[in-house]
């Protein structure tokens, strides 16, 4: 994922990016490298609230577990890019929420490579977008030829608060092994009008009703995070700004 | 308390209510019966302010205020409660949190102090007990995985907690078995049969009216009230059918 040349929209991984913002930030520093040793247990929460580009390369050793929680909410353009390699029996969990309004462009781009047998990966991504904001999730799962018994799952949902907002979601599977389980689900929708009306009929003002439903929508993403309460509170505050 | 005059309403440009008039005073229980497609649910949604239900003529006032000019949450804060025919499932939103926030939003709108978590739970436990609904159900997401009967009981628990002045109950009896019907009927009586409150029951059948005795019964057909009477009218309808009476 490290490219020396400035990416253009023709590069698949930068297709929906704010190229002007990328240009301004170019050249990017070398990606952060995280190595989880065999049998290790790693946890990290990332809050992107200033309009930055984070690139992380992560290698998860044999039977090690790594869990990342991401809240992507800040700045005109915020991008988090993960390149994860799983070794034998390793486990990777990603719980991510990106919440944007105005003209924000937020994206999460992941490449999860099951390089060896028996590894598991779970990715859960929720996007909430209002105004003319754009939220993108590009998620590639690659399974190497001998990475049998791979168990991988992507669960991707986006909620559009305005018809002028955009959500892009692209799951991508590249599987060379023949005994694997790779599931992916993706949905983009709007808040259910009947549910909103039901909540309002009990006395909740429209903004409160929306906030309650959006809170439920992103709930679960930060379960088990190192900083769960802080992440929830930040997400809630950002949702409050949008409704 | 509720004064509806010459109400006309459309749904997707189709006229449904065509000159409906009805007055409900404090202390009264009214039942509206009528065949499928008469406009019963439309009436409840128009009074509840559901988007898409367009009032084209006439008026509705609630305690002297123009009801039709208020947003749904303002109607709730003014003391109107709508019991849904099909209560909505809302995954991820806990009943308790939703009801507490709703009640406190109403109290805030009325300039009252919010209820503390402890006081709210006490209130919720009392009302759930009244309707025979397990307190654990109230902690679960709103109506998710509830049976038809549990959803209707949950509506009545909500009514008990929110303590409205006027309850419009849209086919609250549908989907209830005989025992649940009695529990819900008793709940309506306990919560709403007060000199300062009123109820509008919308139903197809006489059976709920065995438990909740109406003071007035109206027949709604083709968007208008075509006949009004006392409780005996419900029995007459059950015996003769709508076709005879509404004709």
Ordered domains of chain B (ranges, CATH): 2-246 (3.40.50.300)
SS3 at position B108: helix
Q: Which residue of B has its CA nearest to A220?
A: B92
CB within 8 Å: B105 and A215: no
pLDDT at position B246 is: 64
B14's CB contacts (< 8 A; 6+ apart) are: none
Interface A:B, Cβ pairs < 8 A: 78
- Which range is most confident: A8-22, A122-136, A223-237? A122-136
Q: Which residue of A has its CA nearest to B72?
A: A201
Interface of A with B in 164-193 (CB under 8 A): 192-193
Global ipTM? 0.95
SS3 at position B49: coil
Residue B146 with chain A: CB contacts under 8 Å: none
SS3 at position B234: helix
- Calculate mean pLDDT across residues A29-45: 96
Distances (CA, A) of B246 to B41, B217, B225, B242: 18, 13, 9, 6
Distance from CA of B50 to the nearest CA of A (A): 7
pLDDT at position B245 is: 72
CB within 8 Å: B98 and A212: yes
pLDDT at position A177 is: 95
CB within 8 Å: A203 and B77: yes
Distance from CA of B170 to the nearest CA of A (A): 14
Which is nearest to A211 in space by CA: A113, A99, A122, A110?
A99
- pLDDT beyond 60 at A211: yes
Residue A193 with chain B: CB contacts under 8 Å: 51
- Residues in chain A, how many? 243
Which is nearest to A184 in space by CA: A141, A157, A155?
A155
Among chain B, residues having any CB pair with chain A shorter than 8 Å are 48-51, 71-73, 75-77, 82, 84, 87-93, 97-99, 101-103, 105-106, 109, 141-142, 158, 162
* Residue numbers in chain B where pLDDT is lower than 50: none
Confidence of residue A36 (pLDDT cuts 50, 70, 90): very high
Return the DSSP state at B210: H
Strands B53-62 and B141-142: unpaired
Q: Name the pTM for this structure.
A: 0.89
CB within 8 Å: B88 and A194: yes
Residues A221 and A215 sit within 8 Å (Cβ to Cβ)? no
Structure tokens at B73: 């949450």
Q: Which residue of A has its CA nearest to B46?
A: A201
**In chain B, helix, strand, coil percent, each to 5?**
40, 30, 30
- Distance between the two ends of chain B, CA-based, in angstroms? 30
pLDDT digits (tens, 9 = 90+) for A70-103: 999 989 999 999 999 999 999 999 999 999 999 9
Residue A206 with chain B: CB contacts under 8 Å: 71, 73
Handedness of CA B137, B138, B140, B145 (dihedral sign): positive
CB within 8 Å: B49 and A201: yes
- Least CB–CB distance from B105: residue in A197, A204, A213: A204
- pLDDT beyond 60 at A1: no
d(CA A202, CA A18): 42
Residues A180 and A122 sit within 8 Å (Cβ to Cβ)? no
* Contact status of A212 with chain B (Cβ, < 8 Å): yes
- Distance between the two ends of chain A, CA-based, in angstroms? 36
Q: What is the CA radius of gyration of chain A?
A: 18
Residues B11 and B214 sit within 8 Å (Cβ to Cβ)? no
The phi and psi torsions of A164 (rounded to 5 degrees) equal -90, -5
SS3 at position B241: coil
d(CA A231, CA A80): 16
Confidence of residue A3 (pLDDT cuts 50, 70, 90): low
pLDDT at position B247 is: 59
Which is nearest to A68 in space by CA: A76, A58, A79, A77?
A58
Confidence of residue A25 (pLDDT cuts 50, 70, 90): very high
């Amino acid at each position: 994922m490290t490219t020396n040349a400035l990416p253009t929209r023709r590069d698949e991984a930068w297709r929906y990016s704010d190229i002007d913002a990328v240009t301004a930030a170019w050249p990017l520093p070398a990606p952060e490298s995280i190595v989880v040793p065999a049998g290790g247990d790693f946890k990290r929460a990332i809050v992107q609230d200033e309009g930055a580009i984070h690139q992380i390369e992560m290698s998860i050793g044999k039977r090690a577990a790594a869990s990342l929680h991401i809240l992507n909410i800040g700045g005109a353009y915020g991008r988090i890019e993960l390149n994860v390699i799983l070794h034998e029996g390793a486990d990777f969990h990603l719980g991510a929420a990106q919440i944007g309004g105005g003209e924000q462009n937020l994206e999460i781009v992941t490449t999860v490579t099951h390089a060896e047998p028996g590894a598991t990966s779970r990715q859960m991504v929720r996007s909430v977008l209002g105004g003319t904001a754009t939220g993108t999730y590009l998620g590639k799962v690659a399974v190497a030829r001998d990475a049998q018994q791979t168990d991988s799952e992507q669960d991707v949902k986006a909620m559009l608060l305005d018809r002028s907002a955009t959500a892009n979601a692209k799951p991508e599977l590249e599987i060379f092994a023949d005994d694997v389980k790779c599931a992916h689900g993706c949905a983009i929708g709007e808040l259910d009008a009947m549910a909103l009306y039901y909540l309002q009929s009990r006395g909740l003002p429209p903004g409160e009703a929306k906030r309650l439903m959006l809170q439920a929508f992103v709930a679960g993403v930060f379960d088990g995070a190192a900083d769960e309460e802080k992440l929830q509170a930040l997400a809630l505050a950002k949702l409050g700004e949008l409704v | 308390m509720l004064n509806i005059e010459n109400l006309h309403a459309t749904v997707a440009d189709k006229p449904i209510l065509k000159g409906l008039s009805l007055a409900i005073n404090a202390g009264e229980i009214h039942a509206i019966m009528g065949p499928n497609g008469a406009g019963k649910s439309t009436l409840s949604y128009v009074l509840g302010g559901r988007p898409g239900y367009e009032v084209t003529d006439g008026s509705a006032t609630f305690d002297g205020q123009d009801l039709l000019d208020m947003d749904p949450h303002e109607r709730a804060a003014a003391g109107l409660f709508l019991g849904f025919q099909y209560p909505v499932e809302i995954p991820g939103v806990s009943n308790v949190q939703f009801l507490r926030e709703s009640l406190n939003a109403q109290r805030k709108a009325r300039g009252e102090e919010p209820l503390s978590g402890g006081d709210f739970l006490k209130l919720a436990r009392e009302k759930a007990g009244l309707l025979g609904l397990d307190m654990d159900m109230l902690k679960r997401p709103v109506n998710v995985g509830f049976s038809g009967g549990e959803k209707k009981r949950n509506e009545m628990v909500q009514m008990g907690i929110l303590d409205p002045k006027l309850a419009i109950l849209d086919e609250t009896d549908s989907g209830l078995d005989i025992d649940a019907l009695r529990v819900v009927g008793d709940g309506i009586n306990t919560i709403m049969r007060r000199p300062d409150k009123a109820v509008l029951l919308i139903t197809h059948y006489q059976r709920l009216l065995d438990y909740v005795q109406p003071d007035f019964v109206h027949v709604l057909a083709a968007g208008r009230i075509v006949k009004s009477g006392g409780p005996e009218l419900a029995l007459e309808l059950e015996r003769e059918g709508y076709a005879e009476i509404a004709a």
